[in-house]
Structure 1
Amino acid sequence: MNLNGLLDTNGGRNPFEYLLGALSTCTSIIVSYAAKEQDFEYSGLDFSADATLDPRGFRAIEDVTTYFQMVKINVTVKTNENDDQLRKLKETVEKRCPIFNY
């Protein structure tokens, strides 16, 4: 995560990291529901999430947003399903995940 100096030095998590964790969790739940509905079998999911934020927005620099400029989530699905089925699952999850669409 590139938070440009906003990370705590005490080693604890910050709200931005919790938000990315919530995105991964929500995505995982939607995958579970969508896979069941589509008879899509999988044995595991691995997540990584990254984001870029410009902290100048918190210092009231004009025309700098206070929210993430970029959020990227990578999901690795352990499955024997074909590429078309995986694509369909991905499209369904992207449409239905409320945090992904926020």
Structure 2
Amino acid sequence: MRLGRHTVRSDEPASLGGQDGAPNPVEYALAALLSCQAVTYRVWAVKLGIEVEDIDITIEGDLDVRGFFGLDEQTRPGFGQARVAVQVRGPETPQRYAELQAAVDAHCPVLDLFTNPTTVRTALTVVRLPEQASILDRPGKDGEGRTT
């Protein structure tokens, strides 16, 4: 799939019908939150004049696949919870880093997506094949019909 100028792949593990050749969509969601947190920490550290020598962020999430598979309609198909652990190194006081964390929590766009409802509008376009056409009847690249 294309994301701006970049091409990314997505897959699922074999247990979910994939080949495990790339991260799955929910792993990308966690990666988006992690990377957005890192960027937001750097931006707001500069903005607040808080020195950060290094920052280490880890993230994990709880996903109950019963919601995805429709096995339990009371279970969300998405994350029930995500946990972000931030370790910041630098010369500032713990209070200054708490101020930085508060600014990040208030301004991180992907954290906002995770914590607040977002309106999503989906447009569906259906392209129907002619009723008589099967895959064997459709023209190939050279305009000739395909045969087996």
Assess same fold via TM > 0.5.
yes
Match of 1:82 in 2: 93
Alignment pair present for 1:35 and 2:55: no
What is the rounded CA distance, in whole Å, between the counterparts of 1:42 and 1:95 in structure 2? 19
Match of 1:44 in 2: 54
Alignment pair present for 1:19 and 2:29: yes
**Equivalent pairs, count:** 96
Q: Which runs of 5+ in 2 are unaligned?
A: 1-11, 15-19, 114-148
Contact 2:51 2:91 in 1 (8 A): yes
Match of 1:8 in 2: 13
1:58 is aligned, of 68, 90, 94, to: 68
Moved over 3 A (4+): 9-12
Deviations 1:3-61 (A, max 9, x none): xxxx6143632111111111111111111111111110111111110000111111222
CA RMSD between the two structures:
1.4
- Which of the pair is proportionally richer in helix? 1
Alignment pair present for 1:73 and 2:87: no
Which moved further from structure 2: 8-17 or 32-41?
8-17
Q: Which has the higher contact order (CA 8 A, sep 6+)?
A: 1
Q: Which amino acid aligns with 1:100?
A: L
Percent identity reads 27
What is the rounded CA distance, in whole Å, between the counterparts of 1:20 and 1:26 in structure 2? 10
Q: Which amino acid aligns with 1:83?
A: P
What is the rounded CA distance, in whole Å, between the counterparts of 1:94 and 1:48 in structure 2? 15
Return the TM-score normalized by structure 2: 0.61
- Secondary structure of the residue aligned to 1:99 is helix
The structure with the larger Rg is: 2
